[in-house]
Amino acid sequence: MDELKRLIRDVPDFPKKGILFKDITTLLREPLGFARAIRALADACRHLEPDLVVCVESRGFLIGAPVAYLLGAGVVPVRKPGKLPARTIREEYALEYGTDALEQHEGAVERGQRVLVTDDLLATGGTAAAAGRLVARAGGVVAGYAFLVELAFLKGRGRLGAAPIVSLISYDGE
């Protein structure tokens, strides 16, 4: 995974001063690197046997949809409030300053379906945990979580419960 890690660019002071942002767009623009990352993530999650892959807005769409395709699973987008056209269920979650929310369509996840929750990056775990709660509220079973990148030093895994967590690239102290 070191060659994939080299394709990720560091952007200092984004989105605010003191943050070192891990920019995956430089990996996405490299066809072989992107393909390798998606195949590796799908292979690492195949044993979870998901029926659906929940993709968290917006970079999670870029990761989760091709993973779902390779796994033969359906795709469920999870979006910020007001972006989905039909009736939704909503889950609020805490941010460093304030709260935010995610929504998914009612009925998008059916009782008992196995769901893989995906996003591009696991940081503090708040967004992924909210997506997992949406799945559970709909009656689905969180089969696992999958991320291209994990900022392990932020300890987001601790917010995700007992479901398996897969991350391809980990940063331990950057």
Q: Which of 119, 84, 116 is nearest to 103 (CA)?
A: 84
Which of the residues 87, 96, 111, 174 is marked catalytic?
96
Our answer to whether residue 92 is catalytic in this structure is no
Q: 139-168: b or e for each residue (b if 16 or more CB lie within 10 Å)?
A: ebebbbbbbbbbbbeeebbebbeebebbbb
Question: What number of H helices and E strands is found in the chain?
Answer: 5, 9
- What are the tokens at 145? 């979580």
Which of the residues 59, 79, 91, 103 is marked catalytic?
59
Beta bridge partners of 21: 11
Our answer to whether residue 96 is catalytic in this structure is yes
Catalytically active residues, by annotation: 59, 96
